[in-house]
Amino acid sequence: MSTSTSFNRLTPYVFLAPAVVIMALALLYPLGYMIFGSFREWDPSQAMGESTYVGLKNYITLWNDPNFRESTFVTLKFAISVVTVEMFIGVGLALMLDRNLRGMSLLRTLFILPMMIAPVVVGLIWRYMYHPTLGIFNRGLKGVGLESVDWLGQHALLSVIIADIWQWTPFIFILALAALQSLPRSALEASRIDGATGWQQIIYIKLPLMMPVLIVTCLLRLIDAFKVLEVILVMTEGGPGLSTEILALRISRTATEFRELGVAAAMSNYLLMLLLFITVLMLVYNRVMEHRAARASRMIEESD
Amino acid sequence: MALEEKQQHPGFYAILTMLIIMAVGPILMMLINSFKLDVDIISGTSGLLFMPTIQNYETALCDILPYEPEHLDFCALKFGGAFINSLIIALVSTLLTLVIGCMAAYALVRFRFMGRDTASATTLMVRMVPPAVLLVPVFGLWNNEFCIDKASWLGSLIRDNFGGRGDVCLAGTHSGIILIYVAMNLPFVIWILQSFIVQVPRQLEEAARMDGAGPFQVFFKVVLPLIKPGLAAAAIFTFRIAWNEYLLASALSDRDTKTVPILIVNNMSEFNVEWGVIMATGMLLAIPPIIFTLFASRQIITGMTAGAVKG
């Protein structure tokens, strides 16, 4: 056996090398490049070297820019409402449908369709459904003799939120269902013997036991909610006004329309810091809860 | 089980039916509308009573059809070319991501080495980076830095053979888009596959090693076949992102490398939307993911839960 094919200390590095090279080249280097560029006045036609250093100017301008604040506010409003509603509906549906049904796998297949198709297509479908005269909603309202609603005008943010809920509630549903079905049967049996009602089982046993999975699910969904862009771009293009212009959309507009790469880079950095903050917060919370649970179980063991 | 099924309230089935209609209805509506002429869509009085036509699909695919559709004098929408671009980009980046990600996941699970924790943590952290954040640096780098000087021999070789002016850059090429997709998807693929590789019994690998297999043989002949479900899940998720992505592709592509989502967005922002054709293009973009979902929903669900729960 030649040395090149045998196991040695270099083996893991050989396996890891391609991934490291690609991620360093196309993820980490660009991120560093972005941070570097956010301190510069930078035009798309310039190479980085030709741009001028302006210190914290981009960050300060943004901080005082009412439009940027509005965008941040819209982003937070969108992400928080979307995740809250999806968690409630998704977990609720999972609790309701956690039974032995024939055709459950078909049901799950149909449910994941919306999240598999392209965001661009989702935006297209919903833009059609919200259409003032052609859309199914206004036709329905007209059919029962009600006033038509200007969905993508007056209620743009709400309409966008509804579309996202349609697309992503199944994600929460599937994960919550998986968590439910892996719960220890013994705990549920014991509570049933003790005479717990269905609701008591849900509140005191199922939900607490599902909590770790639900927190991870919530975190994943929250991070993804900040990535949403195409659906909103196709449905409203950020309008009317700034009512649906989330940060991701504003970054892309600043870079392509206003041609201010430095400002866009600073904005990306703000968004990244926001996401980092949320991630760390959630992880710390998770760690604390785990710690507390471990201590509780230890106390129970000691008291025995 | 049979007993429990009998106990279900009829109202329960009503709710279930409603849920299914809500989930699938909008997609079905797009499918139906893609077979309607614009006249039928706009009149809209008869939901299902119309003459189905494939005219919209002919308009969309006019540049790769072997015949010339009668209703068109000029092929404006170069959808066929974009479809081929999308296919190339999605397939190549899926394949590359899988191979590279698999190897990395294997190294992270099976070996103890210096820098393992750093690699693991970095993988986790970059997962949260939104594509929009990558837009600015990737645009800058791919256009200005990741270039071959046109004066160098390789650069001049490419310029002489393929034409064009200026330095040879990654932006505007298939490989430029593929590179960023592979990088974007790697953290996720590594994360998912780790949970599958952990389950491969070590004894199998050791037995193969005893028989004189090298690390690559062990990996390709023993480990890979055992994690096929995980690979399928990872492949579908990677393909889905590469196939559906719009923002970075729109920043990096030029006239010849446009992907389908870009064409759809461009046509949507025009003043007068031709709904029939747009629905047909949307349907064409949606078909591959829908097929995957129908045939591999079990793998998708396994992958989703593995990604979220076992991390």
ipTM summary value = 0.83
Q: Is residue A12 part of a domain?
A: no
Q: Is residue A20 part of a domain?
A: no
Its domain, for residue A198, covers: 67-303
Closest CA to B138 of B252, B257, B259: B252
Contacts of B243 (CB under 8 A, 6+ apart): A118, B86, B90, B285, B288, B289
Residue A287 in this model has a pLDDT that exceeds 80: no
Give residue-wise pLDDT tens across range A128-175: 888 877 777 777 777 787 777 777 777 888 888 998 999 899 888 888
Which among A29, A252, A253, A270 is the top mutation candidate for probing chain B, defined by the most B β-carbons within 10 Å of its own β-carbon? A252
Query: Is B64:B84 a contact under the CB 8 Å cutoff?
Result: yes
Number of structural domains, chain A? 1
DSSP string, B17-28: HHHHHHHHHHHH
Q: Can you list the domains of chain B with their CATH numbers? A: 87-309 (1.10.3720.10)
Q: Is residue A7 part of a domain?
A: no
Question: A304: distance to nearest CA of chain B, Å?
Answer: 31
Question: B3: distance to nearest CA of chain A, Å?
Answer: 10
Sorting pLDDT into bands at 50, 70 and 90, what band is A304? low
Q: Is residue A152 part of a domain?
A: yes
| CB atoms inside a 10 Å sphere around CB B182 | 28
Bridge partner list, A41:
A52
The angle at the Cα of B244, spanning B238 to B250, to the nearest 5 degrees, equals: 115
Q: Is B261 on the interface with A (CB under 8 A)?
A: yes
Give residue-wise pLDDT tens across range B13-39: 888 888 888 888 888 888 888 888 777
Q: Is residue A265 part of a domain?
A: yes
Taking CA atoms, what residue in A is nearest to B301? Answer: A174
Q: Is B268 on the interface with A (CB under 8 A)?
A: yes
Closest CA to A192 of A202, A178, A207: A202
Q: How far apart are CA A118 and CA A124, in angstroms?
A: 10
* Helix ranges, B52-173 (H): 55-60, 79-110, 116-126, 131-140, 153-162
Q: Is residue A230 part of a domain?
A: yes
Q: Is residue A144 part of a domain?
A: yes
Closest CA to A131 of A119, A140, A144: A140
**How do the pLDDT tens digits run along chain B, 311 residues long?**
344 445 667 778 888 888 888 888 888 888 888 888 777 777 765 566 677 777 778 777 777 777 776 676 667 777 888 888 888 999 999 999 999 998 888 888 887 777 777 776 777 677 788 888 888 888 888 877 777 776 676 766 676 666 666 667 777 778 888 888 999 888 888 888 887 888 888 888 888 888 888 888 888 888 888 888 888 888 888 898 888 888 888 888 887 888 888 888 888 776 667 788 888 888 888 888 888 888 888 888 887 777 665 44
In this structure, what CATH number is given to the domain that contains residue A289? 1.10.3720.10
Displacement of CA A222 from its chain's centroid (Å): 4
Q: Cα Rg for chain B, rounded, in angstroms?
A: 24
Residues of A in contact with B183 (CB under 8 A): 22-23, 25-27
